[in-house]
Amino acid sequence: MTGIAVGLVLFSAFIHATWNLLAKRVEGGTAFLWLVYLTSATVYSPLALAVILVAHPVVGAAGIGFMAGTVFLHTAFFAFLAAGYRAGDLSLVYPIARSTGPFVATIGAIVLYAERPTYLALAGGLAIVVGAVFLTGDPRRIRAAGSGRAVGFALLTGLTIATYTLWDKHAVSALAIPPLLYDWSRNLGQTLLVAPLALRQRERLGLHWRVHRREVIGVAVLSPLAYILVLTALSVSPVSYVAPLRESGILIGALMGTRILAEEGGRRRVVAAATMAAGIVALAVG
């Protein structure tokens, strides 16, 4: 990876952890997500138009198909993530979800894109999984502690992350769709896809906008920005390097959960997050 790509991904990781903190504070469902989609599509519309006018991208039938596919994948991601946050702590859900994604994505990149990470990189992926297991504590106590549901949604989130990472890599690399335009089309598609459900909850929509307007706008601006930076890196770098490196936000997310939200088990969770961060370093330099 080039230094610029590394910088983009690391900056993205910080932004990603920040918007996750905002989402955790709201713990909103469909209404909150739809407001985020709508606000994102609106805020980034002028920039998307500028890309079209300046770059004149050619998006064929395959590109449109990938744009449609990423809408469904990212909608599933947000749904699983929101459900996980309603069921458990940020410093539990966030690291598990973010650690599963790069490990599965690396395997997918080896199979689908013929990428060949080193043994050190593969060892880093294993370290991430071990850290995630340690984070949850004794697996036999997950149900007793009431964390089973949260862990399940976190794993589903991670698998979805891996899927859309591989999918989107092809879109911005092989099909050369501009990252900002690609991500804006996703937000627009999600707005249309979720609208029938969200508009049935008009009272909740109004409540979220009145009470959590700052969080809505914050997530709507930061979430696309974080992923546009990742897409830019993916357009010129292998998945097996970008996907693990962006998970440096795991440690940031764990610290936010324990320091700002005063979630329990802080020391154990930070140690686990640090273990996963070491694995990420091994993946990145391997």
pTM score, whole prediction: 0.83
H-state helical runs in the chain:
3-26, 30-55, 61-87, 90-112, 119-136, 148-173, 179-198, 202-211, 213-234, 239-245, 249-259, 266-285
139-198, pLDDT tens digit by residue? 555 555 567 788 889 899 999 999 999 999 999 999 999 999 999 999 999 999 999 999
Assess whether pLDDT exceeds 60 at residue 262.
Answer: no
pLDDT value at residue 255: 64
∠ CA 89-200-211, nearest 5°, is 50
193-250, pLDDT tens digit by residue? 999 999 999 988 998 899 999 999 999 999 999 999 999 999 988 898 888 877 777 6
Report the distance separating Cα 244 and Cα 115, nearest Å.
Answer: 14
3-state secondary structure of 261: coil
- How many Å is the Cα radius of gyration of the chain? 18
pLDDT value at residue 178: 97
Residue 73 tokens read as: 């994948």
Q: Are 216 and 39 in contact (CB under 8 A)?
A: yes
pLDDT-based confidence at residue 95 (cuts at 50, 70, 90): confident
Please, which residues have CB within 8 angstroms of residue 141's CB and are 6 or more apart in sequence? Answer: none
Per domain, the residue ranges of the chain are: 3-285
- Mean pLDDT along residues 110-117: 89
Assess whether pLDDT exceeds 60 at residue 261.
Answer: no
40-87, pLDDT tens digit by residue? 999 999 999 999 999 999 899 999 999 999 999 988 987 888 788 788
pLDDT value at residue 230: 95
Q: Are 161 and 101 in contact (CB under 8 A)?
A: yes
**Which is more confidently placed, 77 or 125?**
77
pLDDT-based confidence at residue 283 (cuts at 50, 70, 90): low
Residue type, 109: A
pLDDT value at residue 84: 86
The percentage of residues in the chain with a pLDDT greater than 70, rounded to a whole number, is: 84
Which of 20-29, 93-102, 113-122, 134-143 is the least confident region? 134-143
Assess whether pLDDT exceeds 60 at residue 8.
Answer: yes
pLDDT-based confidence at residue 22 (cuts at 50, 70, 90): confident
